[in-house]
A and B are shown apart, each in its own frame.
Chain A
Amino acid sequence: MSEQSAEHFSEHIRRYLYVFYALLFGTVITVAASYIPFGNREINIAVALFIAICKASLVACYFMHLISERKMIYFIMAFTAFFFTGLMFLTLWSFGDLPRHTSH
């Protein structure tokens, strides 16, 4: 292996470590935020999901190398995002006709 590629991967490893620290920090923030009363539970849910999305983006972009992938992978991901969004919209649209008393 050339010296240049060793240097290249050392740079990558440094980046992975920063992402790892960010993920640990994100976990601590998620737990801490769940104990803060933001006024209503919806805000707590929004904060927790926002942190989770940030953490998931870090994993996908850096550990899964989505930040520097080929077009083909972005194409597959775009389709996935489209159908996943559609699935979530279906869930939202069904709010007018929700099943009730679902806690038992």
Chain B
Amino acid sequence: MDIPYTIEARPDTGLYNAKVGIWLFLASEVMLFGALFSTYILLRVGAPEGYWPHGWLNIPVGTVNTIVLITSSITTVMAWASCKMNQFGRFKFFHACTLCLALTFVGIKSYEYHDKFIHYEITLKDGTIADGHLVKRTADAVVIKGHYVKDRKELFDLRAANAPHEHTELTIPKAQIAKMENYGPWHSTYLAIYFTLTGLHALHVIGGAIVIGFLWGPGSKLWRTDPERFTNRIEISGLFWHFVDLVWIFLFPVLYLL
């Protein structure tokens, strides 16, 4: 038995079923990310003045990732337009570009996560704080590339004029360390919401990339037997991909710039 309304429009909605389905799904996604944005707002507004991190993320890297995702959006829509124009070769090219851009995005995001996981805040027994990236760990000392601060508050606004910028290699004997913690999600509420929002978004990118990869590879066989239905599949996966781009358009300024 054939699945109804995969190509022709349903008389009551005026659309093929998958299109109504994806928009309903995207509506639920808006509420999911909306709830997390709401959480971000409450956490940020509730933070005491000067204690909400600013400048902790690498802006050029985030900008490049934004451009990567925007470019993947245009290649997705071009892939769909190519199908509509019966140009299967062009479709293959544009969808391959989308796939490469999706993997580039995930690669850059992984680099950013790695940077946070090797970044340590080390509280010494005399109250001084050493902050920097781990270089090596020996049996009796930890070597980081960073700087010392007297007050933890100095670490919050790294875009401030008086923020410490000079980083040198510091060897800290383990006997002097009272607490050592990396910049993972457990470090602060800012990093908790950063990893939650970007992690959930990255899962969407990976999920979308799997679907796009399938439609580019084995799934593209459908083009030979039912090109119209295949084109609709490309439109549906494209709508999801544009939504992923749309979420990042808000995540980038909120997490990286403000």
Residues of A within 8 A of B (CB): 1, 5-6, 9, 12-13, 16-17, 19-20, 23-24, 27, 30-31, 34, 41, 44-45, 48-49, 51-52, 55-56, 59-60, 63-64, 70-73, 76-77, 79-80, 83-84, 87-88, 90-91, 94-95, 98-104
Contact = CB atoms under 8 A, between A and B. Distances in A.
A71 B81 CA distance: 23
B203 interface: no
Nearest to B156: A103
Contacts of B51: 101, 103-104
Contact of B70 (A24, A45, A48, A64): A24
Interface residues of B, number: 57
B47 interface: yes
Contacts of A44: 258
B2 to A, nearest CB: 22
Task: Give the 6 A-B CB pairs with smallest separation, nearest first.
Answer: A34-B257, A102-B46, A103-B51, A103-B47, A48-B253, A80-B27
A40 to B, nearest CB: 12
B46 A101 contact: yes
Given A20-B70, A80-B27, A103-B47, A88 B34 contact: yes
A13 B31 contact: no
23 contacts: A24-B67, A27-B63, A41-B258, A48-B253, A48-B257, A52-B250, A56-B246, A63-B73, A72-B14, A73-B19, A73-B23, A79-B27, A84-B31, A87-B31, A90-B38, A99-B42, A99-B43, A100-B48, A102-B44, A102-B47, A103-B52, A103-B189, A104-B51
* Most chain A C-beta atoms within 10 Å of own C-beta, residue among B13, B239, B249, B257: B249
Interface of B: 13-15, 19-20, 23-24, 26-27, 30-31, 34-35, 38, 41-48, 51-53, 59, 63, 66-67, 70-71, 73-74, 76-78, 81, 84-86, 156, 188-190, 238-239, 242-243, 245-246, 249-250, 252-254, 257-258
B242 A59 contact: yes
Contacts, number: 145
Contact of A27 (B23, B35, B66, B74): B66
B257 A102 contact: no
Nearest to A6: B85
A100 B156 CA distance: 17
Given A9-B84, A100-B46, A91 B74 contact: no
A71 B14 contact: yes
Given A13-B81, A94-B42, A34 B253 contact: yes
A103 B48 contact: yes
B78 to A, nearest CB: 7
A1 B156 CA distance: 59
A98 B13 contact: no
Contact of B45 (A30, A70, A95): A95
Contacts of B245: 59, 63
Contact of A9 (B13, B85, B246): B85
B253 A76 contact: no
Contacts of B59: 31, 34
Contacts of B41: 91
Contacts of A12: 81
